[in-house]
Amino acid sequence: MTVMRKIGAHNRSSGAIAGKRMRQALGLPKGSGFCVPIPLHLLESHAWAAQSSQCRKFIDVLMAEHAAHGGAENGNLKAPYTQLRARGIRGEIVLDVVMEAKALGIADHVRGQRSYGSKRAPSEYRLTWLGTPDGLPPTNEWKSIKSPEEAIARKTNAREALARERAIKRARRAERLARQALVTSDASTPSDRRSGAA
């Protein structure tokens, strides 16, 4: 079946689909709401093919969030842990998945602050093949990946960098706990001596 196109003033095809019935058949279903376009080049890219299933779920969450805001929040998209867990992403690997998406150039993020009280700020995400409301055009970092091996190398490097960051945090936490234990043992020692002398 061939799709009929409208003919313009100079007897050339305008590219628009001719006929209301054909436009309805080939268009989006009624009531589908806002849709997120994914370019064919992205779908065929090495970055897209290298995504893990968990990373793809994460991108799906961001696309759903983008559509829910009518395309006006790219760059400020939020995906809380509860929302990610509801989509089947395990809580302990959320940061791994976020770093994988960034390494592949499919999504970018600004890391939030995990604190208590009024200073809590969630992470904000941006789909790189779409522009942002403040005028930033699509950055398309995924285009720089030229082979499957490069995509795998980027994922591996991101995992190793995250492992190093976690090791540093564990070491700092252990050092802080050791200092606290030393301070509490020093504070309890004089009172023990006094009670023993009495």
Is 33 among the domain residues?
no
Q: Tell me what pLDDT residue 126 has.
A: 95
Question: Does residue 9 sit in the same domain as residue 59?
Answer: no
Q: Tell me what pLDDT residue 22 has.
A: 65
- Given a cut of 60, whether residue 180 has pLDDT beyond it is yes
Question: Does residue 69 sit in the same domain as residue 110?
Answer: yes
pLDDT band at 4 (very low <50, low <70, confident <90, very high): low
Q: Tell me what pLDDT residue 97 has.
A: 94
- Given a cut of 80, whether residue 43 has pLDDT beyond it is yes
Kindly report, residue by residue over 72-98, the tens digit of the pLDDT. Answer: 899 999 988 888 889 999 888 888 999
Mean pLDDT, rounded, for 9-13 = 70
- Cα Rg of the chain (Å, integer): 26
Amino acid at 192: D
Is 188 among the domain residues?
no
Is 45 among the domain residues?
yes
Which residues on adjacent β-strands are paired with residue 77? 125
Domain that holds residue 23: 1-27
Question: Does residue 81 sit in the same domain as residue 137?
Answer: yes
Q: Tell me what pLDDT residue 198 has.
A: 47
Question: Does residue 146 sit in the same domain as residue 49?
Answer: yes
pLDDT band at 187 (very low <50, low <70, confident <90, very high): confident
Query: Alpha carbon of 61 to those of 51, 85, 126, 155: distances in Å?
Result: 14, 10, 12, 20
Question: Does residue 23 sit in the same domain as residue 108?
Answer: no
Rounded Cα distance between 62 and 85, Å, is: 13
Question: Does residue 68 sit in the same domain as residue 163?
Answer: yes
Taking Cα atoms as reference points, which of 122, 120, 79 lies closest to residue 101?
79
- Counting other chains too, the contacts that 144-153 makes at CB distance below 8 Å and 24 or more residues apart are 144/105, 145/45, 145/46, 145/47, 145/50, 145/104, 145/105, 146/46, 147/46, 148/46, 148/49, 148/50, 150/46, 151/46, 151/47, 151/49, 151/50, 151/104, 152/50
Amino acid at 13: S
